[in-house]
Amino acid sequence: MPQLNPNPWLSTMIMAWLTLSLVIQPKVLSFTLTNPLTNKTALTTKANPWTWPWS
């Protein structure tokens, strides 16, 4: 069964992962965000009880 022969595909997979993790990932992580994250305070709202028309 040729699917179980790792010879042609193992090196391709290793080279793809090395390229992704050593070349592409640092370039993507170096991008700056256009909208920088800020710490926002949580707004607390008062819950108004619902008035049912039949009660």
**pTM beyond 0.75, yes or no:** no
> Which two tokens mark 2?
């040729």
DSSP 30: T
Please write the tens of the pLDDT for every residue from 2-41.
Answer: 667 777 788 889 999 999 899 888 888 888 777 777 777 7
Count each helix (H run) and each strand (E run) in the chain, helices first.
2, 0
Rounded Cα distance between 20 and 13, Å, is 11
CA distances from 20 to 10, 25, 30, 37, 47 (A): 15, 6, 14, 26, 49
